[in-house]
Structure 1
Amino acid sequence: MTEDAMETLKQHLKTLQLPYMREVVEREIENAVKMKLTYQAFLTRLVEAEVLQKTNRSIATKIHLARFPRICTLEEFDFSFQPSLHAAEIRELGELGFIHRKENVIFLGPPGVGKTHLAIALGVKACTARLRVAFFTASELADLLYASLADRSTPQKLASLSRYHLLIIDELGYMPMDKQRANLFFQLVSKRYETGSIILTTNMPFDEWDKVFGDTIASAAIIDRLVHHSHIFHIQGHSYRMKDKLKADASA
């Protein structure tokens, strides 16, 4: 292929918004000649490269937009350290059927046992499946909704938060909510009820949630909507952070 013909081809690929094909087409033509590929095999190879690149870029964008505090995976989780968890049940959640069924997941347990790790790992799995995910701490989410009262954008904010396939709410129970924030939190849970999945982590048993929401009736209403169609895991065990510290001390 002449230099002018190659430049014309690259320009066409640019016009068609196929940037990766444009980047590699010259090299792939050379490889096709060396490997004696058929036209079909060459074209398939070139198109597959573009699809893979776009898929990876889409996944990276979804992970970035989810605002995870860090990246965790199920493969990294040490189930042998938390025998109260059944690895098979968590890995089944990783197949994401619960999201398609609009079910919730609740991880309860003391600090450091891996609740946030598992929530993030399932969120990353969902991003990899190109689903829309958002991560908030409970206090961040309550403050975000409360701030929407100032410009009367609460309906729009609730609608926006309801469009995610998966909403992760971390650390419920660390900060109590006033009546307005508790009411807004209830509105969000109600709006997502049977329409979108929530993963929630908390250090407080259900019978103490009235301390978070300041009202027994409000907490009961929130619990009722969250636990219906939900997978609940009570994690009992040692702290991962303590495990890592002991390991570091042992190697020092």
Structure 2
Amino acid sequence: MPPLRQICYANRLSGNKWLGLLIDTEATSRETKRFESRMRTARLRHVGAAPEDVDYKTRRGLDKALFQNLLTGKWIKDKRNLMITGPCGVGKTWLACALAQAACREGVTVLYKRATRLFDELELAHGDGRFPRVFKTLTKTQLLILDDWGPDRLNASQRRDLMEIVEDRYGNGSTLITSQLPISTWHDVIGEPTFADAILDRLVHNAYRIELEGQSFRKQEVKSGDETPAN
């Protein structure tokens, strides 16, 4: 229902303008509900990570022009990927979630997964018959976020699952990966050279890269007594 102030204002409008106001209000309400639904489905680690709150002042190697371009979502429309690397605590996950929220605002479907938990989920899905459904969810979402990639080496089953996911998503959706490890070491994490070459070729060759540096925000927050998540 429109707020009281809108109703009082609407009483002074002509019939056509009143109808237009009702239509605009209903459209806004529906879009808000769709956005909230996309956010719930995304299951972001930092739900409150808003694009407007990104910290560009702290020295950590974040290219403001590049990040603001990424916030437009064109990279997702172009089916390109994004790799965010850097040491623990510099805001990789928060930035990924801010990009995800921006994408949800534009009607993009998003799914956030911590890499280690994803592989555990896939292993269980193989055992109880849910794998086709889980696999479809992972491959059909427009933006898949794999958070905290590495450092544990993948086993044979994990390599196969990742290869299938990456292969199906290639050219059909965007993948965002955060990792404490530099991309040059990912080949070793995957383990088997043939799989590693194929997976990284599909993930990295068309990807934007953000390579962060600096000290952990968490250590700075402990010193200042501020427990706000790193952004």
Establish whether TM, by shorter chain, passes 0.5.
Answer: yes
Superposed displacement of residue 236, structure 1: 1.4
Do 1:109 and 1:236's aligned partners in 2 also have CA atoms closer than 8 Å? yes
Matching of residue 44 in structure 1 with residue 20 in structure 2: yes
Greater length-normalized contact order (CA 8 Å, ≥ 6 residues apart): 2
1:129 to 95, 101, 106: 106
Matching of residue 170 in structure 1 with residue 147 in structure 2: yes
Q: Deviations over 1:105-134 (max 9, x none)?
A: 000111111111111000011111121100
Matching of residue 139 in structure 1 with residue 116 in structure 2: yes
1:114 to 91, 95, 100: 91
Structure 2 matches for 1:1-252, cutoff 5 A?
A: 23-24=1-2, 31-33=9-11, 35=12, 37-71=13-47, 72-248=49-225
Q: Which residue of 1 aligns with 2:229?
A: none
CA distance in 1, matches of 2:18, 2:3: 10
More displaced stretch, 226-235 vs 141-150? 141-150
Superposed displacement of residue 225, structure 1: 0.9
| 3-state SS in 2 of match to 1:105 | strand
CA distance in 2, matches of 1:212, 1:179: 12
Q: Deviations over 1:79-101 (max 9, x none)?
A: 22134121110010000000100
Structure 2 portions without partners, runs of 5+: 227-231
The verdict on how the C-alpha distance between 1:191 and 1:51 changes in structure 2, with shifts beyond 3 A counting, is: same
Superposed displacement of residue 166, structure 1: 0.4
State the one-letter code of the partner of 2:40. H
Q: TM-score, normalised by structure 1?
A: 0.82
Number of corresponding residues: 225
Structure 1 portions without partners, runs of 5+: 1-22
Choose between structure 1 and 2: higher helix proportion. Answer: 1
| 3-state SS in 1 of match to 2:225 | helix
Q: Look at both structures and tell me which one has the larger radius of gyration over its CA atoms.
A: 1
State the one-letter code of the partner of 1:167. L
Q: Deviations over 1:12-32 (max 9, x none)?
A: xxxxxxxxxxx3499866543
RMSD over aligned CA atoms reads 2.1
Percent of aligned pairs with the same residue?
A: 28
